[in-house]
Structure 1
Amino acid sequence: MRLLGGRFVLERELGIGGMATVYLGRDEVLDRPVAVKILRGGFDDPETAGRFRREGRTAARLSHPNVVQVYDAGEGELEGRRVSYIVMEYVPGGDLGRMIRERGPLPGPELARIGAEVAAGLAHAHGRGVIHRDVKPPNVLLDEQGTPKLADFGIARVLDATVQATRTGVYLGTAGYSSPEQLRGERITPKSDVYSLGATLYCAAVGSPPFTGLPLEVASQHMTKEPEPPTRRGARIGRGVEEAIMACLSKDPAARPEAGELREALLAARAEGPAPAAPRPRSRPAKAEERTAVLPSRPPRGRGRRLLAALAAALLLAAGAAGGWGLLRGGLPGSWGEEGGQQRGEDRSGGRPAPPARAAAEAVFDMYVAAATNDFAASWSYLSESYRERVGSLREWESRYEDVSYVRFVEGPTVVRASGNEARVAFTVQETRPEGVRTVSGVWVCVNENGEWKLDRLLEGGSG
């Protein structure tokens, strides 16, 4: 029996995040199930552990039926080592993202109820100086009665004089549901959460987010394009619900409702019947000519590349997290400098010539861009067969990209060596995660697999 803090028995693992592992536990004193988040090794230095516990105390300031309750935060012994932990309410009913995947678009009355209750939870948090910053379907948990509870205030910041939560240039959140001001690295306010909730409700009404496409294309559209009204994409919701969602998605924060106002609007609209059935939305993405502000996912040369890099800096690795750091520093077997992977001289080209060397830098760039908006399958596709074997599975790859909120390319990606079926790409990035900003430099070794560059191993600090 694994006992933590003298009272919490850990029963089984529920999930692994970038910085922490979450367990189903039982409070032996109060005899109730709990969720226990334990900071993982590698993030347990005193400063990070202190911030982790402060995160718990920040969330503990919130007590509302539509917010996952934090019960305790502290340090304790577990299997011979000192760990930091947060104990939370256990919510067993899945999340809104799963509900949408399993059931499809939600009817208007149910959508209005869920939206109103989540808005109530946000209003409670905003009234206590806490901005969530990452409202999205997976962070809306559902209990066994279908009551939504907003979870994961892990990247929230307290709005007081001691924590500069809204400083310019810091982006926290998931790009697919983030407000224009978040994506531009501008000042974040409670209205940013309202935008994200609007995007979440749009997804619940339609079955997909307001904007889809390539990662940079999605970010650009959030900043420049008005979303199509949900009913034009087949949503069966009344006018009041649609108007509330579209108001949340206003580009100007001042035009968006407060969370409390949104709650009232959705409650008033709940009595409406659904709109007449509309044609189902297309299952395939719109053609290129039907989109606006289309941006390439590969870095062009010169000024165009600099502009694209500036946009990429506003969203890169929004999903990732210790993924970024855990992957680069010890996330895989062995140390940074290990050769591993494809052995020198081994030919996996399939008889096909290597692409131009610059395409290796494009592969590195595109891998990070794909990870930026949780397109893990696409990101996974840029890895070599050997590297995938060392990672283990797509699920393991995903688990390494959950907490990194912002990555900026300071240098590169630049090809520093290319010979035959191998190319080396140097880069330096600054990664923002809950515990702070770290600068990471390295060299990706890319190999030719069937005529395409694949990321095969990572070398430290540009060494090779």
Structure 2
Amino acid sequence: MSVGDAAAVGLGPYMNAVAGNCPYLTPATRTGQTRWMRYQPAPGSDLETIASKVQPTNTLVTEDGTAMLIDYALACGPVTAGRPDLETDRVPYRGALTHTTAPEIAQAVLDTSESEHIPVVAASDVWALGASLFWCWTGQRPVPYHEPNGSREGKLRDIAEGLTRDLALARPWPFPAFEEALMACLHPDPDKRPTSGELTALLAGMAP
């Protein structure tokens, strides 16, 4: 789905994490955001691009309640034999919105120079999705920063530690199945996070 495709479906309300707009966190929103987490460049194509910019304000909720991910300005393309290298001559990826930056990306940003491109994997988008859903549902960012008004570098160090807020204290109401899915997305180890397909299956049909 391109930005043009998103515009064609009509402008629905954005999920606004800062305001903690819980009414938009419907089963369709949760599942739709997961399904659109990775972009297919063309119908029938098997070439996937990691969005690399999953955050609440990049989620468009259409009039029928479907959630779609928009804005692929920082998308990271794969290097596939026989295909154009989508990573050639691109602006180096150095993370997107700080609050939805996965721990492994945060650490890589801290460990490398500003000119070095950081490859992104699907698991990093899963963490960003979990962070977005956490933020939208609770109205709080998932990582308890030591200095909330401090520098981006300080926030990235906190994220890289892999710590998150206690969801039991931040949640607006108990929702065990959803909480389990959220915290699975926010696992500090990328290999232990669910895939987008597994997460879609977990979230589909959930009701508080």
TM-score normalised by the chain length of structure 1 = 0.36
CA deviation after TM superposition for structure 1 residue 218, in Å: 2.3
- Provide the alpha-carbon RMSD of the alignment: 2.8
Aligned to 1:181: 104
Picking from 226, 231, 235, the partner of 2:163 is 226
CA deviation after TM superposition for structure 1 residue 115, in Å: 1.7
Aligned to 1:198: 130
Q: Give distance in 1, aligned partners of 2:47 and 2:172.
A: 34
Query: The residue matched to 1:251 in structure 2 has which SS?
Result: coil
CA deviation after TM superposition for structure 1 residue 137, in Å: 0.8
Q: Does 1:156 align with 2:75?
A: yes
Aligned to 2:62: 143
Residues 70 and 207 of structure 1: CA distance in aligned 2, closer, same or farther (over 3 Å): same
In structure 2, the gaps of 5 or more residues are: 110-117
Aligned to 2:112: none
Q: Percent identity?
A: 23
Q: Give distance in 2, aligned partners of 1:190 and 1:232.
A: 29
Deviation sequence 1:181-230 (CA, Å, 0-9, x none): 22224541011111100000000111021124123332122110421232
Asked whether the equivalents of residues 50 and 76 of structure 2 are also in contact (C-alpha less than 8 Å), the reply is: yes
Q: Give distance in 1, aligned partners of 2:137 and 2:34.
A: 16
Picking from 267, 274, 279, the partner of 2:204 is 267
Q: Give distance in 2, aligned partners of 1:204 and 1:233.
A: 11
Residues 146 and 222 of structure 1: CA distance in aligned 2, closer, same or farther (over 3 Å): same
Larger Rg: 1 or 2?
1
Residues 112 and 222 of structure 1: CA distance in aligned 2, closer, same or farther (over 3 Å): farther
Q: Give distance in 2, aligned partners of 1:241 and 1:112.
A: 10
CA deviation after TM superposition for structure 1 residue 97, in Å: 1.3
Asked whether the equivalents of residues 126 and 196 of structure 2 are also in contact (C-alpha less than 8 Å), the reply is: yes
Aligned to 1:113: 28
Amino acid at match of 1:255: K
Amino acid at match of 2:22: L
Alignment of 1:19-30 (within 5 A): none
Deviation sequence 1:135-184 (CA, Å, 0-9, x none): 1111001222332111101111321241337x9x7413111111122222
Asked whether the equivalents of residues 39 and 51 of structure 2 are also in contact (C-alpha less than 8 Å), the reply is: no
In structure 1, the gaps of 5 or more residues are: 1-61, 63-67, 72-86, 274-464
Q: Give distance in 2, aligned partners of 1:138 and 1:264.
A: 24
Aligned to 1:132: 51
With CA pairs under 8 Å and 6+ residues apart, which has the higher RCO, 1 or 2? 2
Asked whether the equivalents of residues 175 and 219 of structure 1 are also in contact (C-alpha less than 8 Å), the reply is: yes
Asked whether the equivalents of residues 39 and 48 of structure 2 are also in contact (C-alpha less than 8 Å), the reply is: no
Aligned to 1:92: 11
- Greater strand fraction, Structure 1 or Structure 2: 1
- Greater helix fraction, Structure 1 or Structure 2: 2
Query: The residue matched to 1:141 in structure 2 has which SS?
Result: strand
Q: Give distance in 1, aligned partners of 2:3 and 2:119.
A: 28
Amino acid at match of 2:190: P
